[in-house]
Chain A
Amino acid sequence: AQTVTQSQPEMSVQEAETVTLSCTYDTSESDYYLFWYKQPPSRQMILVIRQEAYKQQNATENRFSVNFQKAAKSFSLKISDSQLGDAAMYFCALAGTYKYIFGTGTRLKVLA
């Protein structure tokens, strides 16, 4: 069975600082993808970043980057230069064959 665990229900970060959100997963599949989605108060699900399991290089999208540790089955999201607009729920997701599994989310608060 596939599982995704986000152990931090809530995190806070000062504006302009850096924060890291944790995610661990488990899967028996060799070919899979990992994602971080952002859900702001509007409740829209927004894709932030993706990582292919076969790629060793960590994905980066502007201020967002991941630390993908395949052997440890860890996939953390780093947000640099945090902005007030980054405040949201962040969900880690694992995509295997035909299915997406989402974690329970981490609520990020950005302090001015």
Chain B
Amino acid sequence: DSGVTQTPKHLITATGQRVTLRCSPRSGDLSVYWYQQSLDQGLQFLIQYYNGEERAKGNILERFSAQQFPDLHSELNLSSLELGDSALYFCASSQPGVVEQYFGPGTRLTVT
């Protein structure tokens, strides 16, 4: 158990819908990262937050957005969902000044 929690574990929804994925980082970690892993693919970096502020952006679609709240939990919002958005979405966190990221168990999103 990495100490990073993600909810829900599984999510099934229809095309065109909007969902919110939630992540709670490990105690003491200020950075939160979001990744997308499509079937049998590597991880694609989406976005990073540090202490509530956006720090870096990767290949995140305009239909996707994220935020980090004062209690440091983070949410990833996915809207106008398409079949191709079906994937495993990981959240990871890290401590200030430390490079290692620790991953949550992921949220499996299925768009039908």
Chain A residues packing against B (C-beta within 8 Å): 33, 35, 37, 42-47, 50, 91, 95, 98-105
- Beta-carbon contact of B103 and A45 below 8 Å: yes
- Verify A47–B102 contact, CB threshold 8 A: yes
A99 touches which of B2, B56, B88, B102 (Cβ 8 Å) = B56
Given A43-B105, A99-B58, A50:B99 Cβ within 8 A: yes
Which residues of A lie under 8 Å from residue B90 when comparing CB positions?
45
Instruction: Tell me how many residues of B have a C-beta within 8 Å of chain A.
Output: 22
**Given contacts A43-B88, A45-B90, A104-B42, is CB(A98)–CB(B103) below 8 Å?**
no
Q: Which residues of B contact A104 (CB under 8 A)?
A: 41-42
Closest Cβ of chain A to B17, distance in Å, is 23
A44 to B54, CA, bound (A): 25
Using Cβ atoms and an 8 Å threshold, which residues of chain B touch A42? 105
Q: Specify which chain B residues have a CB less than 8 angstroms from the CB of A35 in the assembled complex.
A: 100
Query: CB distance A44 to B41 under 8 Å?
Result: no
Q: Given contacts A100-B45, A101-B45, A104-B41, are A44 and B101 in contact (CB under 8 A)?
A: no
CB within 8 Å for A95 and B99 given contacts A43-B88, A44-B105 = yes
